[in-house]
Amino acid sequence: MKDTLRQQLERLALRVHELDALLADPQLSADRARYRAVAREQAQAASVVALYRSLQQRERDFAQSHELLSDPEMAELARDEAAAAQGDITRLQAQLQTALLPRDPDDDRNVFLEIRAGTGGEESALFAADLARMYLRYAERQGWRSEVMSESASDLGGYKEIVVRLEGDRVYERMKFESGGHRVQRVPATETQGRIHTSACTVAVLPEPDEQAELTLNPAELRIDTFRASGAGGQHVNKTDSAIRITHLPTGIVAECQDDRSQHRNKAKAMAVLLARLRDREREERQHKEAAERRNLIGSGDRSDRIRTYNFPQGRLTDHRIGLTLYRLAGILDGDLDEVVQALAAARAQQQLEALETGA
């Protein structure tokens, strides 16, 4: 293990002592939110330091066993102990490297998944519907709840735009690498000469803000419009202006919801989507400022980039960020995304580890 990582671990051990002292302070318990935050940080840091202390002990065990190799009576026992200690050292070092990786504070959040048709006309809208189905089936496999917040259907049954809320365990952690440009290559159903067409959609995955979001909105900067919901829903949607559209005037960002018959509930849902979009805008601006020179990072938020190609004639999916190619497109479109998600997470972890080791 490199000296830079050991130095970080020693600083973390000092931090644990500071947190222990804070938790022992009676004044902290009066602020329950602050107490929970400190307790959570202490538990996480203490678990990493415990791993580090175990590593140090096994390194001492290895050194002592190595010294006994010159003793004929102890050599065999020393070799066995040294081998066991070396195995533990390798395992503990790997665990520590993983534990030290920066964790995205949004990983535990639910998300708003936005899919928009791009170039390709009606075929792009049909591809948007395919992507929506893929993500909904993946959510079902994960045991997540899904709720369509708004949708704009195309003439042939696709989507010009669809916004879905996904709720469950660590949703953003598994979905955050899906943001970007998705390209499809296939023969459209409307193509009479069998030619392969290329179409595209954009996907955005926005972490849902807390109910008491960091962003506060000035009511004077919002325009709230009501309108009649479109699509299925019976006679009610044709008679009642229950759908809500909220426009944030300074940025022009718009959010709408027509899923519920209650105007009040639609307004609350649209406001949540608007907050998520504004928060994502701030995140993107911050990322561009802090990491403009590292645009190749996974999940950089640059949605103009083509991140993935779905080639139907070859049954192939290619993720261009990590050079991953899989020839089982049908299963992936049926929601079997685990291999793709895990590969992207592993590549991101490797980048973080390299940055950690170099002190970047």
DSSP-derived secondary structure for 65-125:
HHHGGG-TTTHHHHHHHHHHHHHHHHHHHHHHHHHHSPPPTTTTS-EEEEEEE-TTHHHHH
pLDDT value at residue 300:
38
Q: Which amino acid is at 312?
A: F
- Whether 183 and 329 map to the same domain: the answer is yes
C-beta of residue 113 within 8 angstroms of C-beta of residue 205? yes
pLDDT value at residue 227:
81
User: What is d(CA 287, CA 227) in angstroms, rounded to the nearest whole number?
Assistant: 36
- Whether 133 and 207 map to the same domain: the answer is yes
- Whether 129 and 96 map to the same domain: the answer is no
Structural domain boundaries, residue 183: 111-212+310-351
C-beta of residue 244 within 8 angstroms of C-beta of residue 254? no
User: What is d(CA 130, CA 127) in angstroms, rounded to the nearest whole number?
Assistant: 5
- Whether 19 and 145 map to the same domain: the answer is no
pLDDT value at residue 289:
61
- 225 found inside a domain: no
Beta-sheet pairing, 180-186 with 306-311? parallel
> Which helix (H) or strand (E) element contains residue 4?
helix 3-23
- 208 found inside a domain: yes
- 292 found inside a domain: no
> Which helix (H) or strand (E) element contains residue 136?
helix 121-142
pLDDT value at residue 230:
63
pLDDT value at residue 237:
43
- Whether 119 and 91 map to the same domain: the answer is no
How many other CB atoms are there within 10 angstroms of residue 268's CB atom?
Answer: 13
Looking at every residue in the chain, the average pLDDT score rounds to: 84
Instruction: Kindly calculate the radius of gyration of the chain based on its CA atoms and give it in whole angstroms.
Output: 26
- Whether 35 and 180 map to the same domain: the answer is no
User: What is d(CA 358, CA 355) in angstroms, rounded to the nearest whole number?
Assistant: 5
pLDDT value at residue 111:
93
User: What is d(CA 147, CA 136) in angstroms, rounded to the nearest whole number?
Assistant: 9
User: What is d(CA 266, CA 324) in angstroms, rounded to the nearest whole number?
Assistant: 40
- 253 found inside a domain: no
- Whether 135 and 164 map to the same domain: the answer is yes
- Whether 115 and 206 map to the same domain: the answer is yes
Regions in the chain scoring below 50 on pLDDT? 212-213, 232-239, 290, 293-304, 360
Tokens of 91: 């395992």
pLDDT value at residue 317:
97
pLDDT value at residue 233:
44
Instruction: Answer with the one of 44, 71, 100 that is the final residue of a domain.
Output: 100
- Whether 22 and 91 map to the same domain: the answer is yes
pLDDT value at residue 259:
74
- 143 found inside a domain: yes
CATH of the domain at 117: 3.30.70.1660
Instruction: Answer with the one of 100, 122, 143 that is the final residue of a domain.
Output: 100
Q: In 3D, which of 352, 357, 358 has the Cα closest to residue 299?
A: 352
Instruction: Answer with the one of 57, 75, 100 that is the final residue of a domain.
Output: 100
pLDDT tens readout for residues 213-256: 455 678 888 898 888 766 544 444 444 567 888 898 888 888 88
Give how many domains the chain has, as a whole number. Answer: 2
pLDDT value at residue 213:
47
User: What is d(CA 54, CA 60) in angstroms, rounded to the nearest whole number?
Assistant: 10
- Whether 27 and 67 map to the same domain: the answer is yes
- Whether 21 and 164 map to the same domain: the answer is no
- Whether 200 and 131 map to the same domain: the answer is yes
- 203 found inside a domain: yes
pLDDT value at residue 140:
97
Inter-CA distances, 290 with 54, 126, 287, 294, 359, Å:
36, 37, 5, 9, 16
